[in-house]
Amino acid sequence: MLELRGITAGYEPRRPVVRDASLTVAAGESVGLLGPSGCGKSTLARVAALLHRPDAGTVTLDGEPVRGWRHRAPREQRTAFGVVFQQPRMSADPRLRLHDLIAEPLRATGRRAEAPDRVRELAAATGLTADLLTRRPHEVSDGQLQRACLARALVLRPRWLVCDEMTAMLDASTTAALVAVVEDYRRETGAGLLAVGHDPVLLDRWCDRTVRWREVQEVQEAQQVQQVQASQKEALR
């Protein structure tokens, strides 16, 4: 289970972009998180994937409370996540050939020996040809690069996947293809999924359930209403 409780997070002190948000994904479940752009859903997704430390709140991963984010997270927790972002060009090292891009997490965790087999498997799953694997990001299309980024996210066999607007830049066929790769992987491994996006049709079709941003922040809104009511009472006195 992946559990976020009362998360407040942001980029500047005292200016949170996420306030008191809560969200739970059960083991093996797929949850779509739907919201307009700029609402803070990517920030929350990064907190969930242990990439951004929240200012307040707790994250519990498979029963273990999370105590550190980014390099402070224990490797076992960090590698439990595979993450795919919206803009493949911003999340791919431009110097790496696609083969090395996919294998990078294996190298970083001292499992280089597994690379040839694992890359071959994932290239087949994501539809990347041997020729494409030898190219660098600027020599492939957005769709091809996103296939490689998805393969990279799966290379360590994560128990959790976080896909943040993974298909927002892609055409319908590439979108359906990448979602199918994610779902095949989940069927095979039982991994849970948090899919962030702004297209209700896509998320409803893809995920077991879809939550709206305002539901995630409901607690906070309820509190605000109480505060407003309290101050109105105050003013009437």
Partner 1 sequence: MRGDRAIAAVTDATFRLHRGECLALIGESGCGKSVLASALLGLLPGNARTEGHAWLGSGEADEARLDLLAADERTLSRTVRGRRIGLIPQSPAAHLTPVRTVRSQLRETLRELTGRRDGEEAAAERAAFPADHLDRHPHQLSGGLAQRAATALALVGDAPLLLADEPTTGLDRELVDRTVDELRRQVDRGHTLLMITHDLAAAGRIADRVAVMYAGRIVEIADAEAFFGEPGPRHPYARGLLDALPERAFTPIPGMPPELGDLPAGCAFAPRCPRAADACATVPPLADGVACHHPRSDRA
Ligand X SMILES: Nc1ncnc2c1ncn2[C@@H]1O[C@H](COP(=O)(O)OP(=O)(O)O)[C@@H](O)[C@H]1O
Alpha-carbon span 162 to 155, nearest angstrom: 14
The entry of Mg ion, ligand X, partner 1, none that residue 177 binds, CB within 5 to 8 Å by partner kind: partner 1
- The residue within the footprint of partner 1, chosen from 24, 37, 224, 229 (CB under 8 A), is 37
Report if residue 11 touches ligand X, rule: CB under 6 A: yes
The entry of ligand X, partner 1, Mg ion, none that residue 232 binds, CB within 5 to 8 Å by partner kind: none
* Degrees, nearest 5: CA angle 101-145-185: 80
Closer to Mg ion by CB, 8 or 87: give it: 87
Backbone angles phi, psi at 214, to 5 degrees: -65, -25
The entry of Mg ion, ligand X, partner 1, none that residue 40 binds, CB within 5 to 8 Å by partner kind: ligand X
Closest CA to 32 of 217, 197, 215: 197
- The residue within the footprint of Mg ion, chosen from 19, 32, 39, 42 (CB under 5 A), is 42
Angle between helices 98-108 and 142-154 (to 10 degrees): 20
Alpha-carbon span 188 to 10, nearest angstrom: 36
- The residue within the footprint of partner 1, chosen from 22, 42, 144, 210 (CB under 8 A), is 144
Report if residue 90 touches partner 1, rule: CB under 8 A: no
Q: List the interface residues with ligand X, window 20-49 (CB under 6 A).
A: 35, 37-43
Report if residue 17 touches ligand X, rule: CB under 6 A: yes
Report if residue 217 touches ligand X, rule: CB under 6 A: no
DSSP 38-49: TSSHHHHHHHHT
* CA 193 to centroid of chain Cα atoms: 8
Report if residue 69 touches partner 1, rule: CB under 8 A: no
Strands 2-10 and 192-197: unpaired
- Can you give the binding site for ligand X, defined by CB under 6 A? 11, 17, 35, 37-43
- Can you give the binding site for Mg ion, defined by CB under 5 A? 42
